[in-house]
């Protein structure tokens, strides 16, 4: 059984005919995912970007959940390689999001990974109301995340492959 407290994870990956540096400009722009996601709308830097420890506010909308915003903290920032952020406090995150890009013989691989919990989130409220449905609740939310993450990396692929250098 998949439990929220266990930190369920989802990941998507795509091959892109572009260099990691070209892809980096899209994965390090906190507003690019908003062009493709049906939930994430936009973000704005709170601190001077970009660096480990910098914070930004993400704005989200979901037909079932409503509208909300979260404070995100950059936890890994390696230009041309990795960009990661968390929601919540470092010791009690409600989610961790990460882009990784790696060179291949024909371009690059872009991976987008997300982990739930273990800190409280809107999902924990639903689980507390229906603990007998926790597995279904978590699986449904993971599928929503996966679908939006796939849309995002497919959109980044299109941007990177069509970019004029």
Q: List the domain boundaries for the chain.
A: 4-162
- In total, the chain counts a number of residues equal to 165
How large a percentage of the chain has pLDDT more than 90? 82
- Where residue 164 falls among pLDDT bands split at 50, 70, 90? low
The span from the CA of 151 to the CA of 132, in Å, is 31
For the entire predicted model, the pTM comes to 0.94
Q: Is the pLDDT of residue 28 over 70?
A: yes
How large a percentage of the chain has pLDDT more than 70? 99
The per-residue pLDDT for range 98-115, each reduced to its tens digit, is 999 999 999 999 999 999
pLDDT computed for residue 165 by the predictor: 58
The per-residue pLDDT for range 36-53, each reduced to its tens digit, is 999 999 999 998 878 999
Contact by Cβ (8 Å): 56, 49: yes
Two tokens, residue 94: 């409600």
∠ CA 97-102-105, rounded to 5°: 150
pLDDT computed for residue 145 by the predictor: 96
Handedness of CA 54, 142, 23, 40 (dihedral sign): negative
Q: Mean pLDDT across the chain, nearest whole number?
A: 94
Q: Is the pLDDT of residue 150 over 80?
A: yes
Q: Classify domain 4-162 at the CATH superfamily level.
A: START domain (3.30.530.20)
């Amino acid at each position: 059984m998949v439990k929220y407290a266990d930190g369920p994870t989802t990941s998507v990956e795509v091959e892109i005919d572009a260099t990691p540096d070209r892809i980096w400009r899209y994965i390090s722009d906190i507003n690019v995912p908003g062009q493709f996601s049906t939930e994430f709308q936009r973000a704005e830097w709170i601190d001077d970007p970009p660096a480990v420890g910098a914070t930004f506010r993400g704005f989200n909308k979901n037909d079932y959940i409503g509208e909300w915003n979260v404070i995100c903290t950059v936890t890994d920032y390696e230009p041309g390689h990795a960009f990661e952020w968390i929601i919540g406090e470092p010791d009690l995150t409600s989610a961790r999001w990460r882009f990784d890009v790696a060179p291949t013989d024909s371009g690059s691989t872009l991976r987008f990974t997300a982990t739930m919990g273990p800190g409280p989130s809107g999902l924990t409220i639903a689980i507390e109301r229906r603990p007998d449905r926790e597995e279904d609740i978590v699986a449904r939310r993971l599928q929503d995340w996966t679908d939006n993450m796939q849309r995002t990396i497919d959109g980044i692929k299109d941007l990177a492959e069509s970019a004029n250098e």
